[in-house]
Amino acid sequence: MIIEDVISFLGKVPPFQFLDEPTLRAVASSASMEFYPKGAIILSQDGPPSKYLRVIQKGGVKVFIKSDEDEEIVIDYRSEGDSFGFLSLVGGDRSRANVLAVEDTVCYRIGRDAVMKLLDSNPSFTEYFLKSFLNKYIDKTYKEMHNRSLLYGGGDKLLFTTPVGELATKKVVTESQDISIEEAARIMASHKISSLVLLDIEGLPVGIVTDRDLREKVVARGRSVVDPIKDIMSIPLIRVEARDYCFEALLKMIRYNIHHLLVIDEGRLKGIVTNHDLMMLQGTSPISVARDIESQQTIEGLIPVSKKISRIIALLLKEGAKASNITRIITEINDRLVRKILEIAERKYGQPPVPYCWIVFGSEGRKEQTFKTDQDNAIIYDDPKTKEEEGAAGEYFTEFTIYIKDALVRCGFPLCPADYMASNPRWCQPIKVWKEYFTRWINTPTPDAILFSVIFFDFRPVHGDFNLAERLKNYLTQILKNQNVFLAHMANMTVRHRPPLGFFKTFVVEKSGEHKNELNLKLRGIGPLIDIIRLFSLEKGVTETSTLERLDALRDKHSVVMEFGDELEHAFEFITLLRIHHQFEQIEAGIEPDNFINPNKLSNLEKKTLKEACQLISKIQDLIIEQYRPGLVTE
């Protein structure tokens, strides 16, 4: 009978499975069944509050928000047994996200009264929603969660959905930039504020002065307080648009190492957002880790800080962040860590005899790091002018790079098994040698040369004289022009690993060994995608290194990307996120993270999406075989 089917379905789905039979029957009887064809919008962003909780019986939906620039930010995919509409239902505020049926979807719709009754009378039901829904968005303890007022207050403050404008302190205190330091300090004290915005004659904000400025630039240096405030104010002001999401603000704070941002709304000053505001929004904060790194003076001090990075990933995952957003933050933090180590080394060994640039490649070069990955780094230094300089440089960098290699290991970056590290003299060379390497690899594309190209051509400067890296990059772009034989060799490498196509029928997974019946996401999914996009970038002279940035740059340059750009981007985001989730679960379980997933453990929607991504990769590989003729190349 109808109701029995509903009861037996809900009986297998958390949190309904925690309910007893009579309660379940009452819920089922009050429910109704809806159908949404693929492509139908079920809930709209900023629409009226949801009056229902919907449980997906069949099909799947995408939960996403649209920014003012019409950029789509996917929060989550939900499939059979998952529900949506809960936050808006209990919060009673407008619906914050769009929910779109990505397949023909059948939902059981449960009314607000019925849900409220369950929340009131069934602790395990309540706990489930509090943990799985709210905890995703606000990082507070369960005890606080249980607080009714919070529950009904609807505080789903998301890092990725809350515009900065909503957090900006309502009133900003401003003053003319012509007042003295003493006057400024008095105004700040009387208003009990930690920052003061200074205006020019026209009333436009030109600078900011914070407690830190008063401490570091005035008191610590014994500067006279009658000096004009504009002498110590920070310029330029870093601004953020009120409609930008807090995530952008966070990224700016990390990048510029500041903790105050001016929030501008339609050209006018709306307020200030501080790192404290963002921390309140999200609990543990990436920026606090970044600042922590900044304040360390020794390698010993950096070690505990570096351990916090995987906690950040956990936090971002909970917040429902996209893979690219996670890797952007992690890259930003890892870069700071590496820079700090280099600064400490420079202090220890003194300034180098010639300018140098520390470059990274591999996933670090592509800004696609997640959990700690092997060291992949090298040094380009300026061509020595004399024999003496040459000798001095060799000596200096030998000790310098070994010190850094060890420091990185202590901070959780394992050694590169293939020794692609600056401590290997082969990868610590003056720019003229690097140019020779690149020329040789391209002109004589032996298997080794292709391997090196794949690894090193994703290089990116992190510290030192960026000009050196820039020069090498320009040189590379120049010598790559019309190198069809080299590109054919690259193409050959690009199509060597095919994704599993018969995935759900024949299950092309590892056939034997430890990972029997599992799928290697890196080798068969992310790897081929990265290789494809690198191939196109090298061909078209695109200098970006991250796969998504390359894709963006290729959109009006490469015919395949013109046609499949969006699909490639989604495939890359999806597989990367799948891998991060997988590795995170392993780390949480105390297992060494790997790239092997068991497709049977994926939800139907995940399977379907993965299958589509694999089909796409395979299709593009076929196009590559057609266009680049790698078959004509003999190895």
Partner 1 sequence: MIGSIALYKNKILRMVYAQKEGIHPSAVKNLKVMEHIDRNTLIDETKYVVIDTELTGLDLKKGSIVSIGAVKMVGGRIDLGDIFYRLVNPETELTGQSIVIHGITPSDVVEMPVIDTALSELLDFCGNDIIVGHFVSIDLNFINREMKRLYGFPVQNPAVDTYMIHEWVRQNDGDFSRHYGGMSEDADLFSMANKYRLLMSSAHNALNDAFVTAQLFQRFISFLLRFGVNTLGDLLRIGRP
Q: Which among 33-41, 520-528, 600-608, 618-626 is the span making contact with partner 1, rule CB under 8 A?
A: 33-41
Is residue 13 near partner 1 by the rule CB under 8 A?
A: no
| Beta partners for residue 239, in sequence order | 262
Is residue 22 near partner 1 by the rule CB under 8 A?
A: no
Minimum gap (Å) between residue 440 Cβ and partner 1: 55
One DSSP character per residue, 155-219 reads: ----TTTSBHHHHS-S---EEETTSBHHHHHHHHHHHT-SEEEEE-TTS-EEEEEEHHHIIIIII
Is residue 1 near partner 1 by the rule CB under 8 A?
A: yes
Nearer to partner 1, 56 or 575 (CB): 56
Minimum gap (Å) between residue 1 Cβ and partner 1: 6
Strands 60-66 and 205-210: unpaired
Interface residue with partner 1, options 11, 13, 23, 40 (CB under 8 A):
40
Q: Which two structure tokens, joined as six digits, stand for 72?
A: 């789509």
Interface residue with partner 1, options 51, 66, 94, 109 (CB under 8 A):
109
> Is 344:299 a contact under the CB 8 Å cutoff?
yes
Interface residue with partner 1, options 84, 108, 129, 584 (CB under 8 A):
108
Interface residue with partner 1, options 15, 16, 19, 31 (CB under 8 A):
31
Half-sphere exposure of 317 (CA within 13 A, CB side): 20
Q: Which among 35-43, 136-144, 299-307, 587-595 is the span making contact with partner 1, rule CB under 8 A?
A: 35-43
Is residue 38 near partner 1 by the rule CB under 8 A?
A: yes
CA triple 322-520-508, angle to 5 deg: 120
Nearer to partner 1, 39 or 153 (CB): 39
Q: Which among 3-11, 226-234, 250-258, 318-326 is the span making contact with partner 1, rule CB under 8 A?
A: 3-11
One DSSP character per residue, 63-120 reads: EEEE-TT--EEEEEEEETT-EE-HHHHHH-S---SEEEESS-EEEEEEEHHHHHHHHH
Q: Which among 26-34, 71-79, 145-153, 617-625 is the span making contact with partner 1, rule CB under 8 A?
A: 26-34
Give the H/E segment covering residue 363: helix 362-365
CA triple 345-438-543, angle to 5 deg: 80
Is residue 30 near partner 1 by the rule CB under 8 A?
A: yes
Is residue 29 near partner 1 by the rule CB under 8 A?
A: yes
Nearer to partner 1, 12 or 221 (CB): 12
Minimum gap (Å) between residue 610 Cβ and partner 1: 22
Minimum gap (Å) between residue 65 Cβ and partner 1: 24
Q: Which among 67-75, 103-111, 257-265, 571-579 is the span making contact with partner 1, rule CB under 8 A?
A: 103-111
> Is 159:244 a contact under the CB 8 Å cutoff?
no
Interface residue with partner 1, options 33, 219, 409, 562 (CB under 8 A):
33
Residues in the chain: 635
Minimum gap (Å) between residue 17 Cβ and partner 1: 18
Size of the site for partner 1 (CB under 8 A): 23
Is residue 219 near partner 1 by the rule CB under 8 A?
A: no
Minimum gap (Å) between residue 600 Cβ and partner 1: 23
Minimum gap (Å) between residue 44 Cβ and partner 1: 16
Residue with tokens 């014994």: 222
Interface residue with partner 1, options 13, 106, 173, 523 (CB under 8 A):
106
Q: Which two structure tokens, joined as six digits, stand for 464?
A: 């030192």
Give the H/E segment covering residue 54: strand 52-58
Is residue 118 near partner 1 by the rule CB under 8 A?
A: no
Pairwise CA distance, residues 323 & 314, whole Å: 12
Minimum gap (Å) between residue 506 Cβ and partner 1: 24
Minimum gap (Å) between residue 129 Cβ and partner 1: 22
Strands 596-597 and 72-79: unpaired
One DSSP character per residue, 283-332 reads: SS-HHHHHHHHHH--SHHHHHHHHTTHHHHHHHHHHTT--HHHHHHHHHH
Q: Which two structure tokens, joined as six digits, stand for 373?
A: 């990955």
Radius of gyration over every alpha carbon of the chain, rounded to an integer in angstroms: 28
Q: Which among 27-35, 172-180, 402-410, 627-635 is the span making contact with partner 1, rule CB under 8 A?
A: 27-35
Is residue 37 near partner 1 by the rule CB under 8 A?
A: yes
End-to-end CA distance of the chain: 66
Could you say which residues in the range 42-101 bind partner 1, by CB under 8 A? 57-58
Interface residue with partner 1, options 5, 294, 388, 563 (CB under 8 A):
5
Interface residue with partner 1, options 16, 36, 361, 413 (CB under 8 A):
36
Is residue 580 near partner 1 by the rule CB under 8 A?
A: no
Nearer to partner 1, 39 or 425 (CB): 39
Nearer to partner 1, 109 or 607 (CB): 109
Strands 174-176 and 195-199: parallel
Minimum gap (Å) between residue 607 Cβ and partner 1: 17
Minimum gap (Å) between residue 369 Cβ and partner 1: 42
Give the three-class secondary structure for 504: coil
Pairwise CA distance, residues 55 & 125, whole Å: 14
The burial class, CB within 10 Å (0-12 / 13-18 / 19+), for 565 is middle
Minimum gap (Å) between residue 106 Cβ and partner 1: 7
- Residue 460's closest CA among 635, 281, 568, 332? 332
Could you say which residues in the range 288-307 bind partner 1, by CB under 8 A? none
Give the interface with partner 1 as residue ranges (CB under 8 A). 1-3, 5-6, 28-38, 40, 57-58, 104, 106, 108-109
